[in-house]
Amino acid sequence: MPLIVMVFASLKDMAEIRSTSILSVPLRPTVQPWVDAWQNACVGVDCVGLRGFYLKTVLMVVPAVVLSALFGALNGYALTKFNFRGSRFVYGVILFGSFTPYQAVLIPLAKTLGALGLSGNIGGLILVHTVYGLPFTTMFFRNYFMTVPQDLIKAARVDGAGFWTTFGHIILPLSVPMIVVTVIWQFTGIWNDFLFGVSFTSGQNTPIMVALNNMVSASAGERPYDVHMAAALLAALPTLVIYVLAGKYFVRGLMAGAVKG
């Protein structure tokens, strides 16, 4: 129902919004609110719409998703197929990160990014989301790799395959369901993030959700609800598309790593 209200409002002009119900079908549908949200609406002090912030967000999300998934797969592989002293403790420490709230790490992250010279830009957000996503991706892959027979790894060793060969040629091809789960999980979480974006970036480097907030905050007088609803739909569109196209694979991947044996 909220989605229907947003779609209807984004296809009306302000005169029709004021004079009709929020659930009424647009009498004179118009795409002008979408055009304004994309390229004319003011985001902070710049009236550039959401157009420029889309690319910046993609440049932030894609590397963060790839890196967090890759390192999570490596962690899960090492923790399940190589029994070393303290492996359970290491996994417990990593897993503890998934219970750490965003607010508790803001100041340490700010100091770290400042020391690395990554404060206020997209590179800093890539690092933040990669590190913060590792506990979740490690947990996903570890649970999934528990279902992979240990004999498969032993057979690869007998054939002379080392750590990286086994990981790249055997483990990763078997991990497609969990890779899909991890990519969807990380993509939606990073794309929709607001707190890290507003804390560690500014100006043209802000991600899409911060830009959306700045657009609404920049409105003076009567708020253009038609433009705001169109902007909200534009900002949410990638995650909606991913869930529509890959939602069944997400559930299938979760079930694939849900049980052992």
Share of the chain above pLDDT 70, in %: 92
pLDDT of residue 209: 92
For the segment 132-137, the average pLDDT, to the nearest whole number, is 92
Query: What domain range is 144 assigned to?
Result: 31-256
The token duo for 205 is 């480097």
| Bridge partner residues of 43 (DSSP) | 46
How far is it, in rounded angstroms, from Cα 245 to Cα 239?
10
Question: Quick check: 259 pLDDT over 60?
Answer: no
Looking at the domain assignment, is residue 13 inside a domain? no
Residue 121: which CATH number?
1.10.3720.10
pLDDT of residue 261: 43
Looking at the domain assignment, is residue 154 inside a domain? yes
Looking at the domain assignment, is residue 115 inside a domain? yes
Neighbours of 31 (CB within 10 A): 11
pLDDT tens for 80-105 read 887 778 888 888 888 888 888 888 88
Looking at the domain assignment, is residue 56 inside a domain? yes
Per DSSP, helices labelled H in the chain are: 2-10, 14-19, 32-35, 51-81, 87-96, 106-116, 122-145, 150-158, 163-166, 172-174, 176-191, 195-200, 208-218, 225-256
The token duo for 43 is 């985001």
Residue 6 confidence class, pLDDT cut points 50, 70, 90:
very high
Domain count, the chain: 1
How far is it, in rounded angstroms, from Cα 194 to Cα 232?
13
Neighbours of 87 (CB within 10 A): 13
Average pLDDT for the chain: 86
Looking at the domain assignment, is residue 4 inside a domain? no
For the segment 217-246, the average pLDDT, to the nearest whole number, is 85
Do 65 and 187 form a contact (C-beta atoms < 8 A)? yes
pLDDT of residue 254: 63
Determine which of 35-49, 145-159, 223-237 has the lowest per-residue pLDDT on average: 35-49
Looking at the domain assignment, is residue 11 inside a domain? no
pLDDT of residue 255: 66
pLDDT tens for 46-82 read 677 788 888 889 999 999 999 999 999 999 998 888 7
Looking at the domain assignment, is residue 5 inside a domain? no
Looking at the domain assignment, is residue 169 inside a domain? yes
Comparison of pLDDT for 177 and 66, the residue scoring more = 66
The token duo for 251 is 């559930």
For the segment 160-169, the average pLDDT, to the nearest whole number, is 87
For the segment 168-189, the average pLDDT, to the nearest whole number, is 89
